Structure 1
């Protein structure tokens, strides 16, 4: 006889306690296989597809798209076929729910919700999700017969009540299959304006729908027929797009009076933005930071990069970016000044110098600011660092970074010059001890070999934790960085 098992939001690792439902991948009544992804969630670290460890029929879902669920809360219920041993099935349900998992070691354990070799066990993968899904299928699993389970559900399984929702009018010519969208912000923006993403033609690679495509459709709808809609997009009937409600809120003025705002917008700090806000606030509270900066002549560095990338023939490799060269310079500087590759243990009142350099770099994405980490950067050359930066940047833009790729950094490189600015006082990425900021590289008047010349100049700024070192050490570190930028041959000493 079929039995309804509850699948709870598992421990996603890295100390995360909640996740936001971005998209359901199954409907009530669908037949799911073991380890089939059933929901896409967004944590403070990354986007995750959560697989279900059971095979059977989905009888209920808990939580709407856009809502947040804590770890251990029910995600869905599945009707599975079981034998006579109910005790084994209950034990399997408890293991697969993941409510008690706390480390990576649980991700591969088979536990009591195993392959179902016994006649009375519930069939499940036996793999508790920690981070990014269950492992490989267990050998010789007993297969679920979806047809038999589906037929038995109406008579045997009490399905959770479904709240009736007014269904919108069907949109003609809807395109079946998954929507070519990777950004949760794009989905949320489309939901807020009642746009059917299946009717949009994406301008990104392989038809990917970008934020600009959705904003263009929103503008076209707001202007009525005066502006063309994106290709393949059908305008909804008049009045189908509701106007956002302006909720008056009380705003404190500079004089201390309370005034009424007519259209103030409240944006929740959650997901990636919430995690960044918490980390930056903690950094400001706990770290006594100081900043020093210097202008450097980057003309020789740019010439060296051009020479590297002009090599042809068998010796030619992938193009080397300026960021990769700066990252390699940072690893050389940290080898000379290990105080800045440290963290502070407040409880023990100790400075902990770290042996490996896990180099983070700031990357701006549609989901907000993220800091992917290049592992063991001290053992990589500029070409290897550049390849890893390119891979992590692509994964960040697509929302595919794992928690392991976003944590564990020991030093951060922040290239804010891409935004067209010269200088900044970066906030340290807690619990690290320092961050190097790099401004734009622009032609400026410069005294070169005793004469005024136009050179490629960059401003470098170092924000450091004054507990790990004094200004002399920080200044020596920054001066070494500048010397390598001005004379790349200085790096030959460390190669």
Structure 2
């Protein structure tokens, strides 16, 4: 006998509590295999294809494109069992009878190869559903959304939807939800906000406290960045020190390394060299590779260096992380930076590749600026900023010369160290930029 199983949005890891539907990969009536990706969602960390642990016929989908669902909300239902096989006209037996893969979905798919989707005839689908809906409902009743204690019986489960409504003074009790069982979705709230904005209003007697202009929702990556930066400013007493350095020798070393590698070999980037310098500096000043446990009032010095680097993408600013950078060579760091940068551009970074950093390198020189006071990437303790490398007048060996000069800045959490440690770290980085041979004495 066939059975309808409900697949809910799984825990995507890293503390993520909701995701937005970007694109459905299956339709009602399609035959899906176990662990086949069925929907593409966007979290505050990355784009993720979510695989379904059941094989059978898709009988329902919950949520349109753009809808934001909390973890645990229904995504789709799948009819599994022998009636599905006959309705599908030859679906694999394993797809119809297996109860699921049992894989835990944390931030990414299970790695199964892509499966060609098939669609059953509507009459076959109806037969399968007719046989199986009643047992499924009896076995797994859908939970009703928990009502909001302050607003009465309102069908809202997403805290983001509630916050959006509060920001616009919108009474959720007056809305009819378009989701399952009348669930109020973000799209319902945004539609109500637009309707209120378009409605004619009388000329106010006094100027409104709310500024007029285009409103851009802080959501997805942009919203996550805003939350993290705000938290950093609230919790971290940061300070910044900076220094100019002569990068002429560093650029010469890079040219020599790339020349020796030969044609077709991967080129060593300036960012990779600076990353290698950072790992050497952190070995000397481990105070800056730490975090603060505020509740325990303890500084936690971390044994590994997981080096993040800021990357600008069409989706906003992201910080991919090079794992175990302290154990890598310059070439290995460079190769991993190149791989992560390409993944960032295509939106293929996983949540695991965007979290867990212990120190961040920010090359804002690519934007044509010399200096900055960057905000620390919470919960890290420091960030090194690098400006553009440009020809400038410089006193070299007692004479005025034109040299390649870069400004370096270090923003640090003053709780983990004092200015002497921060200055020592930055001075060592600048010395390695000016005299790259110093690295050979520290390895």
* TM-score between both structures, scaled by the size of structure 1: 0.69
Aligned to 1:415: 363
| Change in 2 beyond 3 A, CA 1:281/1:485 | same
* Superposed CA RMSD: 3.0
Aligned to 1:329: 277
Unaligned runs of 5+ in 2: 84-92, 135-193, 201-205
Aligned to 2:89: none
Aligned to 2:106: 130
Q: Is the 8 A contact 1:248 1:260 kept in 2?
A: no
Deviations 1:287-315 (A, max 9, x none): 0000000011111111111111111569x
1:258 is aligned to 2:208: yes
Q: Is the 8 A contact 2:29 2:119 kept in 1?
A: no
- In the TM superposition, what are the counterparts of 1:392-411 in structure 2 within 5 Å? 392-411=340-359
Q: Is the 8 A contact 1:79 1:149 kept in 2?
A: no
| Change in 2 beyond 3 A, CA 1:249/1:331 | farther
Aligned to 1:10: 10
Q: 2:236 aligns with which of 256, 264, 287?
A: 287
Deviations 1:386-439 (A, max 9, x none): 001000101111111111111111100000000011100000000100000000
Q: 1:306 aligns with which of 255, 261, 273?
A: 255
Q: Secondary structure at the match of 1:41?
A: strand
| Change in 2 beyond 3 A, CA 1:261/1:408 | closer
Distance 1:42 1:448 in 2: 52
Distance 1:33 1:443 in 2: 60
Q: Is the 8 A contact 2:59 2:129 kept in 1?
A: no
Q: How far off its partner does 1:80 sit?
A: 1.5
Aligned to 2:86: none
Distance 2:268 2:379 in 1: 30
Distance 1:286 1:155 in 2: 57
| Change in 2 beyond 3 A, CA 1:326/1:450 | same
1:73 is aligned to 2:73: yes
Q: How far off its partner does 1:277 sit?
A: 0.9
Q: 2:223 aligns with which of 250, 274, 285?
A: 274
1:489 is aligned to 2:443: no
Q: Is the 8 A contact 2:4 2:129 kept in 1?
A: no
Distance 2:108 2:261 in 1: 41
Q: How far off its partner does 1:265 sit?
A: 2.0
1:35 is aligned to 2:35: yes
Q: Is the 8 A contact 1:57 1:149 kept in 2?
A: no
| Change in 2 beyond 3 A, CA 1:152/1:13 | same
Q: 1:438 aligns with which of 379, 386, 389?
A: 386
Aligned to 1:349: 297
Q: Is the 8 A contact 2:31 2:119 kept in 1?
A: no
Q: How far off its partner does 1:2 sit?
A: 2.4
Q: How far off its partner does 1:152 sit?
A: 2.2
Distance 2:281 2:50 in 1: 42
Between 361-370 and 124-133, the greater mean CA deviation after superposition: 124-133
* TM-score between both structures, scaled by the size of structure 2: 0.77
| Change in 2 beyond 3 A, CA 1:283/1:81 | same
Distance 2:224 2:210 in 1: 30
Unaligned runs of 5+ in 1: 84-114, 138-143, 160-243, 251-255
Q: How far off its partner does 1:126 sit?
A: 2.1
Aligned to 1:318: 266
Q: How far off its partner does 1:10 sit?
A: 0.7
Q: How far off its partner does 1:145 sit?
A: 12
Deviations 1:444-472 (A, max 9, x none): 11111111111111000000000000001
Aligned to 2:150: none
Q: Is the 8 A contact 1:249 1:261 kept in 2?
A: no
Distance 2:55 2:261 in 1: 55
Q: How far off its partner does 1:136 sit?
A: 5.7
Distance 1:260 1:249 in 2: 17
Distance 2:210 2:4 in 1: 52
Aligned to 2:144: none
Q: Secondary structure at the match of 1:427?
A: coil
1:156 is aligned to 2:131: yes
Aligned to 1:208: none
Deviations 1:202-239 (A, max 9, x none): xxxxxxxxxxxxxxxxxxxxxxxxxxxxxxxxxxxxxx
Deviations 1:110-151 (A, max 9, x none): xxxxx989x9x75322223222123669xxxxxx99789636
Distance 2:55 2:124 in 1: 10
Q: Is the 8 A contact 1:374 1:388 kept in 2?
A: yes
Q: Is the 8 A contact 1:56 1:149 kept in 2?
A: no
Distance 1:59 1:346 in 2: 49
Paired residue total: 366
| Change in 2 beyond 3 A, CA 1:382/1:267 | same
Q: Is the 8 A contact 1:3 1:82 kept in 2?
A: no
Aligned to 1:24: 24
